[in-house]
Structures are given as structure tokens and as C-alpha cells.
């Protein structure tokens, strides 16, 4: 069966510091991968999605970037964090199995101080 | 872009009560998913339902794609049903989320 991992689970970082969040998927090949952010407990916003290695689409211009160095690895990064980057970051995957149902990881709660 | 609206925004129930959550969307969609976000933030898949009706235990969902809405029914609610319920519609391989319904079930 497929599983999705995210780490770290929680993170407290000062303003101006770099960021690296990692997401890996097991049990599937060539998945679509997604990064979402949720602020204030409601409303998920799609940040980036990828349909293959090295293929990244950005939905919202911002202080963040994403990379996909391997088929089942998706990384969210920032060179310098802003206070507004605080939030709950969720990674998701989907793969064709008659439909593209998305499944979410456990999330990373980021607080920028 | 497509708009996804959920109602009601908040719902308070006593254990054992039934409820109906609604999701309206403004354009044709390929698919629709319902999720439950538990108090720890985990998003749990409830239904993948582009059209028709599905049931899973005390939960069922109906999507009428031609009229652009979906309903989630929760029967005999339990305290573990508490959390936020999201619908999300798919366009061009991307999910667009509604703002959610926050459900609190009290014993």
C-alpha cells in the first residue's frame, strides 16, 4: 500500500533563516506531488505541484520554492523566511488508478518568530 | 477561477444527531473529494465522488454535477466526528478547496 511521509512534524524558525521541508511517497511510481499551505485552520492553498522529476509548477508567487530531485521526493524550500510563511504545510500525492484521488501527508506546522 | 463554497461554516451538535453539509461549486469539474481534518491536522479521505451517491458506515455523500453541488450526510454523530470538513473540486489535475465546515459534537 502507499504511504506518504513528511518531516519535520513541527518547526520553529527565526525570520530570515532558511527552510527545507521534505516529503516522500512509498508504494507508487511517478506520482503527481503537491505542496499546500493552510493558515488559520481553514482553507488549503495550493503552492506547487509536480507531474515528474524536475517539473515544478508554481501556483502562487511567493518566498518559497519547490524541487523534485527524485521520483517520489518533493522538497519545499526558502532562502529567507518571513513571518507570513508561518502555517501548516501539507504534501499530497495522486496517481492514476481510474481517477486522480489525492492523499495527504501528516503535515508540518511551521512557526516563524 | 472556480469558486467553492461550503455551508454552514460552523455546526454544533449533540451526540446522536444527524447533519447535512453542503458544497457548491461555480463551474464544471472533473471530480470532487470530501475530507475530514481531525484536531491534529491530518486530512482523511472520506469520499471520491464526481457524481452519484456513496455510503461508508454512518457517512454518505451525493454529488449532482449538473447542478454543481455535493452533500455530505453524517448520521448518529459521535464526538470523534469533530473537526473540519472540506470539499475539494478538481480542475486540470489540481484540487481547489472550499473554506470548510467546522463541526463540534458534544456528548
The pairing of beta strand B101-106 with beta strand B10-14: parallel
Per-residue pLDDT tens for B71-82? 999 999 999 999
pLDDT for res B34: 97
Chain A residues near residue B41 by CB distance under 8 angstroms: 38, 88, 106-107, 109
B95 interfacial to chain A (CB closer than 8 Å): yes
Closest alpha carbon to A82 in A111, A109, A57:
A111
| B73 to A36, A77, A106, B15, B37: CA distances (angstroms) | 27, 39, 25, 15, 16
C-alpha grid cell, residue A57:
509548477
Low-confidence stretches of chain B (pLDDT < 70) are none
Q: A45: helix, coil or strand?
A: strand
CB atoms within 10 A of CB B96: 20
Mean of per-residue pLDDT scores for chain A: 92
A7 interfacial to chain B (CB closer than 8 Å): no
The residue ranges of DSSP E strands in A27-102, in sequence order, are 32-39, 42-52, 55-58, 65-70, 73-78, 87-94
**CB atoms A43 and B95 under 8 Å:** no
- Say which range, A15-24, A84-93, B46-55, B90-99, has the weakest mean pLDDT: B90-99
Alpha carbon distance A20, A2 (integer Å) = 23
Per-residue pLDDT tens for A31-67? 999 999 998 767 899 999 999 999 999 988 688 999 9
Alpha carbon distance A81, A19 (integer Å) = 7
pLDDT for res B54: 97
pLDDT for res B40: 87
Closest alpha carbon to B47 in B75, B85, B77, B6:
B85
Find the residue in B nearest to A100 (Cα).
B93
pLDDT for res A105: 96
Find the residue in A nearest to B86 (Cα).
A43
Please compute the mean of the pLDDT values over residues A77-99 and round it to a whole number. Answer: 91
Residues 73-112 of A with CB under 8 A from B: 88, 90, 92, 94, 99-104, 106-107, 109
Alpha carbon of B10: minimum distance to chain A alpha carbons (Å): 12
**CB atoms A49 and B94 under 8 Å:** yes
pLDDT for res B1: 85
Q: pLDDT at residue A98 above 80?
A: no
Amino acid at each position: 500500500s502507499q504511504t506518504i511521509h513528511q518531516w519535520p512534524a513541527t518547526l520553529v524558525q527565526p525570520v530570515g533563516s532558511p527552510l527545507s521541508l521534505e516529503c516522500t511517497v512509498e508504494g507508487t511510481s511517478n506520482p503527481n506531488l503537491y505542496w499546500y499551505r493552510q493558515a488559520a485552520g481553514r482553507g488549503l492553498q495550493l503552492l506547487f505541484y509536480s507531474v515528474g522529476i524536475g517539473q515544478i509548477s508554481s501556483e502562487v508567487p511567493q518566498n518559497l520554492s519547490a524541487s523534485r530531485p527524485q521520483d517520489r521526493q518533493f522538497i519545499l524550500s526558502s532562502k529567507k523566511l518571513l513571518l507570513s510563511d508561518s502555517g501548516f504545510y501539507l504534501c499530497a500525492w495522486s496517481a492514476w488508478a481510474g481517477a486522480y484521488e489525492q492523499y495527504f501527508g501528516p503535515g508540518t506546522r511551521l512557526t516563524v518568530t | 477561477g472556480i469558486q467553492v463554497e461550503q455551508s454552514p461554516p460552523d455546526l454544533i451538535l449533540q451526540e446522536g444527531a444527524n447533519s447535512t453539509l453542503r458544497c457548491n461549486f461555480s463551474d464544471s469539474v472533473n471530480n470532487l473529494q470530501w475530507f475530514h481534518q481531525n484536531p491534529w491536522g491530518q486530512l482523511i479521505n472520506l469520499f471520491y465522488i464526481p457524481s452519484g451517491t456513496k455510503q461508508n458506515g454512518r457517512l454518505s455523500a451525493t454529488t449532482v454535477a449538473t447542478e454543481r453541488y455535493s452533500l455530505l450526510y453524517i448520521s448518529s454523530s459521535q464526538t470523534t466526528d469533530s473537526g473540519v470538513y472540506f470539499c475539494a473540486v478538481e480542475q486540470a489535475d489540481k484540487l481547489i478547496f472550499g473554506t470548510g465546515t467546522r463541526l463540534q459534537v458534544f456528548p
